[in-house]
Structure 1
């Protein structure tokens, strides 16, 4: 039987089983709170599974494998910086879980007060990361499966997007989180087997290292092989990136208690660092076997074409699990922001809960169609995730962390929030337009200046 046919049948069977599970879960877990934040009742193992599945996705199995192919251990640097970036969550998790938040704009409103300009700025900046992630997952899936099957990437992207709706529509966060847990288990199994297959294809670790350029494979020198400028950009843009990623905030909100929310964050951070070690291994192995790929982001797809058919089929299921979970999570996050923070707050505040769920499903379809178009027009996986992190960090990191630290000092108001967000965007965009690779750093500096300037003015005013 044709390998492609077996592949599609296997994936169809797996997806049908998970979709059925998702549908049954949706019939049991109804209501908008389940759609938005999983009913605030997710057990710790589901918490860890959905967080890990969310931060994996196309960036890890496509973008970071491509980075490892061209820059070796730099991928591990990306993972370690990301892990460090999770640390503030450990201090914030209890407050976040117990404050009754549903979105990131809720945090901004809680700290700075209600103001239409502040709310819209927070909403727009919140949408940047999950929407960027949606595009990343679609690009990653298209790149890999077009290499494996020979089918044009745009067709695969469209089909994949359509299937992903089946994981979001039944019960929003609840169905996404539980299917993420199942997908997360599949990810671990697939990654372990892939690791040993890669070592076997490369004739062992020593041979792989000997066949790759020393500037990318030597340790620890290879950690900075991507270049000092890029590493600095990662420090300012990627390391704190998850602190402005609503998908992770929603998972903290959805925990069954604050202790488990904190533990799950710590475990997820460690797992992500291990995942980027896996990406490094695959990328270096492919470089040792084929150092002349035109596009580094095709490294994962090329690796699969060199493996036995049984593994290609099994790993394809792993890829579907990885990317599907992150895509469905990103879709749900975008939809929650649009329906709660825009539609409910400003357009139809008296909408019935049942109708709001229906509206959420329609919005899911609309945003996914837009993401498909963007993925087809601008197919660069890692570039989308890095750019979305950079601008989101420039705008929201200081207002959130600074607001958390100063929340009880009676120094912050709407003006402080607006100034911090606006100056963060303007500082980052101006530096980017002038060609600076560290534009996110300038955004953070100007954002901090805006926050402290208004807070200082408020302090002087109160003292006088």
Structure 2
């Protein structure tokens, strides 16, 4: 009972401060543009804070610490995929920012023209990763706190989902970004403290090195301890998934200028690499203390049970900050796709700004409710991450980046892009059903073949239509 009281007090303190910031921003930042792209006015420190907080939420606490527990320094390899993806986005950030896009489907419309089927397909695929992240964070929260509080993980998931609405509803991305910055600062400070505490609790790094298997604690050998197949799967799912994750793009759009957008991506990549170093240290230290956990994703949860009461409260605040930031960002991203790319574009183009904002708030509740149901039915944080990354990448990577590379040519067509998305999804699904470990490879290959083949056979028709129009 004492643990519950401490956690509630610390959580209430963090949520109250962040909630006050969210409401303040909501009063200052009104309108649909603030909901979708934060008024395109975010300063560098806020963009870095929200990029980091969004990327490294419950996945860092559960999935990545779990990787560190199971495979030592391999968590760095996982994080490196995200960092590399951000550096690639840095290379195209200038073009993205000056176009003043609002969502990822806007890029597809720019590259291929407006096509209802293509836009809706891309919108649905864009929503997969953010929605998967909502589930990941909810699963993480339930897993971390159920044992120590004795409260059912399902009930905890529901409570946390309701609380996260405080940061989305006031002003969408504007309120999310500023509270993310606050959460990011809390996360960094408490991550440092918790790593020092974990290493000392395990008896120091010398003791840890002598206790844990050499293949996972040795450096740089431990970077590949997870196994070559898994590293390949990460490189073909997490890296491409980062490149097709709308939440990163939205923060490029929301930056106050091109320089801010580019610097934010580079700095965020560095911070993320440091955070997975932390995850490895935490995982290795926990394994040194308890090598017999049946599920590696329970490593952080077990660590909570070893903390003295005063530090438990601080660590609870750390968890709240990390997870809440990602949930609020993901909800805002999914809702923006539904309202802007589907509802406003094809159902009600003349919708008023007030009605659009009200619809956004209503859909935020609905999206979270659906995520709660799925998180309860299908727990497993790392599986959520990898699978959603894989499907998003297989459907979007080829038409997005090949389209960008060939944007000044007439080689690719709308029909080719539609086929690319569809075949990418189908190829991934078939390979996964067939129990392939690298199922995303088949999806990416199918997507590439489809866009080239279909574009080749539909190119003449497009040119013929264009000639008739010019005459």
Summarize deviations over 1:258-310 as a string: whole Å, max 9, x none: 11101100111111111111000111111110011122111101112212211
Trace 1:111-126 onto structure 2 (pairs within 5 A). 111-126=111-126
Aligned twin of 1:42: 42
Structure 1 Cα separation of the partners of residues 237 and 115 of structure 2: 28
Aligned twin of 2:450: 450
Aligned twin of 1:143: 143
Aligned twin of 2:217: 217
Structure 2 Cα separation of the partners of residues 248 and 414 of structure 1: 25
Structure 2 Cα separation of the partners of residues 302 and 209 of structure 1: 20
1:61 aligns with 2:61: yes
Alpha-carbon offset, residue 46 of structure 1 = 0.4
Structure 2 Cα separation of the partners of residues 206 and 231 of structure 1: 28
Q: Contact conserved, 2:416 with 2:450, CA < 8 A, in 1?
A: yes
1:104 aligns with 2:104: yes
Q: Contact conserved, 1:115 with 1:414, CA < 8 A, in 2?
A: yes
Structure 2 Cα separation of the partners of residues 88 and 214 of structure 1: 34
Q: Secondary structure at the match of 2:166?
A: helix
Structure 2 Cα separation of the partners of residues 81 and 361 of structure 1: 33
Q: Contact conserved, 1:411 with 1:458, CA < 8 A, in 2?
A: no
Alpha-carbon offset, residue 455 of structure 1 = 4.2
Structure 1 Cα separation of the partners of residues 318 and 212 of structure 2: 27
Q: Secondary structure at the match of 1:42?
A: coil
Aligned twin of 1:27: 27
Alpha-carbon offset, residue 412 of structure 1 = 2.5
Trace 1:354-433 onto structure 2 (pairs within 5 A). 354-433=354-433
Summarize deviations over 1:183-218 as a string: whole Å, max 9, x none: 000011001101110110111112111111122222
Trace 1:315-354 onto structure 2 (pairs within 5 A). 315-354=315-354
Structure 1 Cα separation of the partners of residues 198 and 14 of structure 2: 25
Q: Which 10-residue stretch deviates more, 356-365 or 202-211?
A: 202-211
Q: Contact conserved, 1:129 with 1:245, CA < 8 A, in 2?
A: yes
Summarize deviations over 1:361-387 as a string: whole Å, max 9, x none: 000000000000001011100110110
Structure 1 Cα separation of the partners of residues 442 and 189 of structure 2: 42
Structure 1 Cα separation of the partners of residues 429 and 10 of structure 2: 46
Give me the TM-score of the superposition, normalised by structure 1. 0.97
Structure 2 Cα separation of the partners of residues 338 and 148 of structure 1: 38
1:396–1:45 CA distance, 2 compared to 1 (3 A): same
Structure 2 Cα separation of the partners of residues 327 and 411 of structure 1: 39
Q: Contact conserved, 2:412 with 2:452, CA < 8 A, in 1?
A: no
Aligned twin of 1:195: 195
Q: Contact conserved, 2:72 with 2:222, CA < 8 A, in 1?
A: yes
Aligned twin of 1:177: 177
Alpha-carbon offset, residue 440 of structure 1 = 0.6
Structure 1 Cα separation of the partners of residues 153 and 375 of structure 2: 10
Q: Contact conserved, 1:38 with 1:173, CA < 8 A, in 2?
A: yes
Q: Contact conserved, 2:416 with 2:451, CA < 8 A, in 1?
A: yes
Q: Contact conserved, 2:412 with 2:459, CA < 8 A, in 1?
A: no
Structure 2 Cα separation of the partners of residues 39 and 413 of structure 1: 33
Alpha-carbon offset, residue 458 of structure 1 = 6.1
Structure 1 Cα separation of the partners of residues 9 and 234 of structure 2: 40
Alpha-carbon offset, residue 459 of structure 1 = 6.4
Q: Contact conserved, 1:58 with 1:141, CA < 8 A, in 2?
A: yes
Structure 2 Cα separation of the partners of residues 132 and 275 of structure 1: 21
Q: Contact conserved, 2:10 with 2:316, CA < 8 A, in 1?
A: no
Trace 1:135-284 onto structure 2 (pairs within 5 A). 135-284=135-284
Alpha-carbon offset, residue 6 of structure 1 = 2.4
Structure 1 Cα separation of the partners of residues 301 and 435 of structure 2: 33
Structure 2 Cα separation of the partners of residues 454 and 154 of structure 1: 46
Aligned twin of 2:93: 93
Structure 2 Cα separation of the partners of residues 184 and 157 of structure 1: 22
Q: Which 10-residue stretch deviates more, 99-108 or 356-365?
A: 99-108
Alpha-carbon offset, residue 14 of structure 1 = 2.0
Structure 2 Cα separation of the partners of residues 221 and 10 of structure 1: 39
Structure 2 Cα separation of the partners of residues 90 and 15 of structure 1: 33
Q: Contact conserved, 1:122 with 1:396, CA < 8 A, in 2?
A: yes
Alpha-carbon offset, residue 115 of structure 1 = 1.4
Structure 2 Cα separation of the partners of residues 458 and 258 of structure 1: 36
Structure 1 Cα separation of the partners of residues 209 and 429 of structure 2: 40
Which sections of structure 1, spanning at least 5 residues, go unmatched? none
Q: Secondary structure at the match of 2:30?
A: coil
Aligned residue-pair number? 464
Alpha-carbon offset, residue 457 of structure 1 = 4.6
